[in-house]
C-alpha cells in the first residue's frame, strides 16, 4: 500500500503534472481548466501520486468545502470526472497490481482529510471498485454515452436511431442553419434561459467564467442552430487532444424540436474533423436526457461513483439522496 505516495502538487511540479495529464488525463485535470476554479478561490486540489523515488505517475482532482461545519469532498462544478489518471509501462497482472496501489493511495489521501461526506465521480476507464468496497464506500454506477469518432460520417449517421435521423433531415428541409457561435454572450444567454425554464439549478458564475476564459477554437467550441437568422439552440463543447465533451446545451422555448438535434450532430462531426477520437456526452440518468443522448448511437459506458458519510449523516442522506447513500 505504501508503493505510492499521494500529495498536493507544488508550483514547481505544474509543468510535469500537465505533461502527464496531456498523455493520460483529460482537459478537466489540466491547468487550463483548473485555473478557472483558482480564480474563484475555490478549494480545488491537484493531488499527485508519486513513486517512492518522487516520480509522478498519476493524479486526481478534488474540491474540499466546508458546509454547516462539515467537510465535504466532491467533484468541482462542471468537472465530470476527478480521475484518477495514470501512466505505467506495465501490462497484465503487473498493471493490475499498480492500479490497485493507485486506488490505495487515492483512498489514503481521502481518509487523511477526515471528511464527513465524500461523493465523487471517477474517470470512466477506472473499473476496479474492490478497494473502495473494502474501505466501506458505496460504489454506485452512473452512465454516459461515448461515440467512437473513427467511424466515417456515413457510419455515424447510420448509428443514430430512426427518430434522430428524421429530426436531422427535417431540420435541413425547413431551413434551420448551423454555424459556430463566436459571441460568448449568446451561449450564456441561451443556457441561462434554458435552466430558468426548466427550474434547474446552475452554477451561473462558474458557467460564465468557463465560457469567457476557455478560448473558442483552442479548447472549446459552440455550435448553434438558427431559425430565420435567430439563434434558437446550441451545444457547447470542451475538448483536449483526444476527447470532446458535451458540457452544456440549451434552447429557446420556441425552438423547433429538430434544432438541437442538428446542432449536436454537427458538433459531433466537427469533433471528428478536428481529429479527436471520442465524443463523450457526460451522461445523465434523467430519463429525458438519457434517451436523447442514447439516440445518437454511442456506446453506454459506466462511471464509478464513490459515496461515503459518517453514520448519522448517512442515515439522513438516505432520505435526501437515496440513490447515492
| Per-residue buried b or exposed e for 56-84, using 16+ beta carbons within 10 Å of the residue's own CB | bbbbbbbbeeeeeeeebbbbbbbbbbbbb
22 and 108 in a single domain? The answer is: yes
Domain-embedded: residue 161? yes
Domain-embedded: residue 292? no
12 and 94 in a single domain? The answer is: yes
Does an H or E element contain 308, and which?
strand 299-309
Does an H or E element contain 117, and which?
strand 117-121
The CA-CA-CA angle for residues 50, 53, 59, to 5°, reads 10
15 and 114 in a single domain? The answer is: yes
Number of domains observed in the structure of the chain: 2
Domain extent at residue 179: 150-276
Grid coordinates representing 262 are 442538428
86 and 214 in a single domain? The answer is: no
Domain-embedded: residue 9? yes
Q: What CA–CA distance (Å, rounded) separates 23 from 30?
A: 11
pLDDT in tens, the chain (325 residues): 468 999 999 999 999 999 999 999 999 999 999 998 876 556 899 999 999 888 999 999 999 999 889 999 999 999 999 999 999 777 777 888 889 999 999 999 999 999 999 999 999 999 999 999 999 999 999 999 999 999 999 999 999 999 999 999 999 899 999 999 888 899 989 998 988 888 777 788 888 888 888 877 789 999 999 999 999 999 999 999 999 999 999 999 899 999 999 999 999 999 999 999 999 999 777 777 899 999 999 999 999 999 999 988 888 887 777 777 7
162 and 130 in a single domain? The answer is: no
54 and 130 in a single domain? The answer is: yes
9 and 138 in a single domain? The answer is: yes
Domain-embedded: residue 297? no
Domain-embedded: residue 91? yes
56 and 9 in a single domain? The answer is: yes
CATH code assigned at 135: 3.40.630.30
131 and 169 in a single domain? The answer is: no
Domain-embedded: residue 281? no
Domain-embedded: residue 166? yes
Amino acid at each position: 500500500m505504501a508503493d505510492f505516495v499521494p500529495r498536493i502538487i507544488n508550483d514547481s511540479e505544474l509543468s510535469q503534472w500537465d505533461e502527464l495529464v496531456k498523455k493520460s488525463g483529460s482537459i478537466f485535470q489540466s491547468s487550463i481548466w483548473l485555473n478557472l476554479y483558482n480564480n474563484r478561490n475555490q478549494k480545488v486540489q491537484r493531488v499527485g501520486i508519486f513513486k517512492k523515488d518522487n516520480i509522478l505517475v498519476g493524479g486526481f482532482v478534488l474540491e474540499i468545502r466546508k458546509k454547516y461545519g462539515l467537510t465535504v469532498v466532491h467533484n468541482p462544478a462542471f468537472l465530470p470526472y476527478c480521475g484518477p489518471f495514470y501512466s505505467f509501462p506495465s501490462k497484465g497482472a503487473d498493471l493490475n497490481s499498480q492500479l490497485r496501489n493507485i486506488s490505495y493511495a487515492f483512498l489514503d489521501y481521502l481518509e487523511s482529510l477526515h471528511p464527513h461526506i465524500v461523493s465523487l465521480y471517477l474517470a470512466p476507464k477506472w473499473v476496479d471498485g474492490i478497494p473502495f468496497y473494502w474501505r466501506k464506500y458505496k460504489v454506485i454506477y452512473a452512465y454516459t454515452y461515448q461515440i467512437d469518432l473513427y467511424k466515417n460520417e456515413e457510419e455515424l449517421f447510420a448509428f443514430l436511431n430512426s427518430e434522430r435521423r428524421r429530426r436531422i433531415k427535417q431540420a435541413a428541409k425547413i431551413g434551420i442553419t448551423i454555424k459556430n457561435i463566436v459571441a460568448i454572450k449568446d451561449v450564456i444567454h441561451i443556457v441561462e434561459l434554458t435552466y430558468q425554464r426548466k427550474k434547474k439549478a446552475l452554477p451561473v458564475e462558474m458557467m460564465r467564467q468557463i465560457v469567457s476564459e476557455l478560448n473558442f477554437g483552442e479548447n472549446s467550441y459552440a455550435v448553434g442552430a438558427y431559425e430565420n437568422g435567430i439563434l434558437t439552440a446550441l451545444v457547447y463543447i470542451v475538448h483536449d487532444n483526444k476527447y470532446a465533451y458535451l458540457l452544456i446545451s440549451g434552447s429557446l422555448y420556441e425552438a423547433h424540436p429538430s434544432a438541437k438535434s442538428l446542432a449536436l450532430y454537427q458538433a459531433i462531426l466537427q469533433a471528428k474533423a478536428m481529429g479527436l477520437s471520442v465524443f463523450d456526452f457526460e451522461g445523465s440518468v434523467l430519463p429525458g436526457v438519457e434517451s436523447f443522448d442514447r439516440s445518437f448511437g454511442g456506446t453506454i459506458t459506466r462511471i464509478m461513483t464513490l459515496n461515503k458519510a459518517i453514520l448519522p449523516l448517512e442515515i439522513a442522506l438516505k432520505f435526501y439522496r437515496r440513490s447515492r447513500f
